[in-house]
């Protein structure tokens, strides 16, 4: 779930407050940092390690969800003398503030990731660092890991290196602000080139067989005295911005593999059974998937604003499962690529919010400088994959539980009412599944007779229970469909 717009409503209903507290207790979400961590963070914020290289001349900008304070990345794109693209990508340098084995480091290992809720953010690092001294806030000089990545005129990577430097972001843009400027007649150089580079990188992704799913996101927004949920299709700039992050992650993986030490983000390839089943889903939705078209090219034909194609995109998320991390040293690991990206890949661009990124950044800086990888990195390397796996499990469970609770909050006084929705998932018995309601933006379990993917249905809300923490529907009437996964019957003889 993307970072929500935070803020307590004027009056929090007792049931909602109790539900949020129960979710945090179940997920063992810490309420605050220990006193010694706060003290260490205050001292670190006042005494960062400042690198010698000064690159405050770069016209960097940040592009993030509106209202963000934990800004990990700042970007500049220019042209080289021969027309090549030169990307300067600054990443917050947490190692300039965090002492290995100190209170901040130990607490970060206990947390693993930042957790987001509608009323609060549970950060990986104390806010004096994550939203202050280490964050790449506009017009502030900050220590950073500065990636310099050169691409040819068709978006192919030619060279990449990373070094410590001081930087200064010139502007903080939301996705909508960045998109509006790109769509204007006079975008700044970085944004004009971001569109071009992003589109080239999408082509390179297609060429190597990678795929990015543009799935409508269920977001939490303040409304009146409470919150509401909305589905939002990503802006194009979000995809282009993500391509830059993936580019840095691929560069980091290549550097670590060359140096034979590091930690990769991995994902196994889809099996043939899952691909065959996904083609049956397309047939059930009556979406044309030519036999000769492979999966990545097919997904690029889908648009998240059409209900049937949104259902197809939702089903596609189940094709690639089993993402994880693989640490290595003294050799090159086998079968450690990322199937969805179709490349070796590493998490390295979000160290304020994800523990592992501090380690990949430190390894890459050392290797690029032809220096030994620090001993503290080797000390923790083997344990990082399981620590991150546990943190991810907690994050997903926590954020899903919050969405479920807010769905109950929105619908608790509407049991018995009917809503229009689309069936986006069907169980094997075809009597149960998941329905997506557009207004309010809710996904819930549904029962009905012979459910079909992509059906537009009128559903009746049968339950919205704080005790269960979920909503439930039953089909009242089919509006369109049902679609059948079997091929149409042959035409009658003439």
Q: Tell whether 244 and 364 lie within a shared domain.
A: yes
CATH number at 439 reads: 2.40.50.140
Q: Tell whether 385 and 452 lie within a shared domain.
A: no
Cα separation, 260 vs 254, whole angstroms: 10
Q: Tell whether 338 and 223 lie within a shared domain.
A: yes
CB 150 within 8 A of CB 163: no
Q: Tell whether 184 and 114 lie within a shared domain.
A: yes
Whether 285 maps to a domain, the answer reads: yes
Q: Tell whether 41 and 125 lie within a shared domain.
A: yes
Q: How many domains does the chain have?
A: 3
Whether 181 maps to a domain, the answer reads: yes
402-425 pLDDT, tens per residue? Answer: 888 888 988 988 999 999 988 878
Q: Tell whether 59 and 157 lie within a shared domain.
A: yes
Cα separation, 482 vs 479, whole angstroms: 9
Evaluate the CA torsion angle 178, 180, 183, 189 in order and state its sign.
Answer: negative
Q: Tell whether 379 and 457 lie within a shared domain.
A: no
Whether 41 maps to a domain, the answer reads: yes
Backbone angles phi, psi at 145, to 5 degrees: -95, 115
Q: Tell whether 28 and 77 lie within a shared domain.
A: yes
Q: Tell whether 284 and 340 lie within a shared domain.
A: no
Whether 141 maps to a domain, the answer reads: yes
Whether 488 maps to a domain, the answer reads: no
Per-residue pLDDT of the chain (494 residues; tens, 9 = 90+): 344 343 444 456 788 888 888 999 998 899 899 999 999 999 999 999 999 999 999 999 999 988 899 999 999 999 999 999 999 999 999 999 999 999 999 999 999 999 987 777 899 999 999 999 999 999 999 999 999 999 999 999 999 999 999 999 999 999 999 999 999 989 999 999 999 999 999 999 989 988 887 776 766 666 666 667 666 777 899 999 999 999 999 999 999 999 999 999 999 988 887 888 788 778 767 788 998 888 888 888 887 767 677 778 877 877 777 899 999 999 999 888 898 999 999 999 999 999 999 999 999 999 999 999 999 999 999 999 999 999 999 998 998 898 888 889 889 889 999 999 888 788 888 899 998 887 777 889 999 988 887 788 999 999 998 888 899 999 999 887 544 433 333 444 43
Describe the chain by its helix, strand, coil percentages, rounded to 5: 35, 25, 40
Residues 6+ apart with CB under 8 A from 18: 466
Q: Tell whether 303 and 161 lie within a shared domain.
A: no
Among 291, 316, 341, residue at a domain's last position: 316
Whether 490 maps to a domain, the answer reads: no
Cα separation, 65 vs 223, whole angstroms: 18
Cα separation, 75 vs 62, whole angstroms: 6
Q: Tell whether 285 and 348 lie within a shared domain.
A: no
From the list 153, 131, 150, 157, the residue with the least C-alpha distance to 142 is: 131
Q: Tell whether 75 and 197 lie within a shared domain.
A: yes
From the list 259, 71, 241, the residue with the least C-alpha distance to 169 is: 71
Range of the domain at 41: 14-269+321-398
How many CB atoms neighbour CB 26 within 10 A?
13
């Amino acid at each position: 779930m993307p970072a929500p717009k935070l803020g307590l409503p004027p009056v929090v209903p007792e049931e909602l407050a109790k539900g949020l507290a129960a979710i945090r207790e179940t997920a063992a979400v810490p309420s605050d940092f220990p006193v010694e961590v706060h003290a260490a963070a205050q001292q670190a914020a006042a005494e960062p390690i400042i690198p010698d290289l000064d690159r405050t001349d770069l016209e960097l900008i940040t592009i993030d969800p509106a209202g963000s304070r934990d800004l990990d990345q700042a970007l500049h794109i220019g042209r080289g003398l021969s027309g090549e693209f030169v990307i300067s990508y600054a990443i917050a340098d947490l190692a300039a503030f965090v002492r290995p084995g100190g209170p901040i480091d130990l607490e970060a290992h206990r947390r693993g990731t930042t957790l987001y809720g509608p009323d609060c953010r549970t950060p990986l690092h104390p806010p004096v660092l994550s939203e202050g001294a280490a964050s790449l806030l506009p017009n502030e000089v900050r220590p950073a890991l500065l990636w310099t990545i050169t691409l040819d005129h068709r978006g192919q990577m030619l060279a990449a290196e990373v070094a410590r430097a001081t930087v200064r972001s010139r502007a903080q843009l939301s996705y909508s602000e960045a998109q509006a400027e790109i769509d204007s007649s006079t975008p700044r150089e970085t944004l004009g080139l971001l569109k071009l580079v992003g589109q080239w990188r999408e082509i390179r992704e297609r060429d190597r067989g990678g795929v990015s799913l543009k799935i409508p996101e269920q977001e939490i927004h303040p409304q009146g005295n409470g919150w509401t949920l909305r589905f939002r299709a990503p802006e194009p700039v979000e995809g282009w911005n993500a391509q830059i992050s993936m580019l840095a992650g691929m560069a980091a993986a290549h550097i670590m593999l060359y140096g034979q030490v590091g930690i990769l983000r991995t994902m196994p390839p889809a099996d043939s059974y899952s691909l065959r089943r996904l083609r049956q889903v397309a047939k059930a939705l009556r979406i044309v998937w030519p036999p000769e078209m492979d999966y990545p090219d097919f997904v690029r034909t889908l648009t998240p604003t059409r209900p049937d194609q949104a259902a197809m995109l939702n089903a596609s998320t189940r094709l690639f499962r089993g993402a994880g991390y693989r640490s290595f040293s003294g050799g090159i690991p086998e079968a450690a690529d990322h199937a969805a990206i179709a490349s070796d890949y590493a998490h390295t661009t979000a160290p304020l919010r994800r523990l592992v990124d501090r380690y990949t950044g430190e390894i890459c800086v050392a290797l690029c400088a032809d220096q030994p990888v620090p001993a503290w990195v080797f000390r923790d390397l083997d344990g990082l994959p399981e620590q991150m796996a546990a943190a991810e499990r907690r994050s997903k469970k926590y954020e899903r539980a919050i969405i479920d609770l807010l769905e109950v909050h929105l619908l608790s006084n509407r049991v018995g009412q009917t809503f229009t929705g689309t069936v986006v998932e069907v169980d094997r018995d075809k009597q149960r599944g998941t329905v997506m309601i557009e207004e309010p933006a809710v996904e819930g379990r549904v029962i009905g007779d012979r459910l079909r993917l992509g059906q537009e249905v009128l559903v009746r809300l049968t339950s919205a229970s704080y005790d269960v923490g979920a909503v439930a529907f039953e089909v009242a009437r089919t509006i369109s469909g049902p679609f059948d996964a079997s091929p149409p019957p042959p035409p009658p003889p003439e």
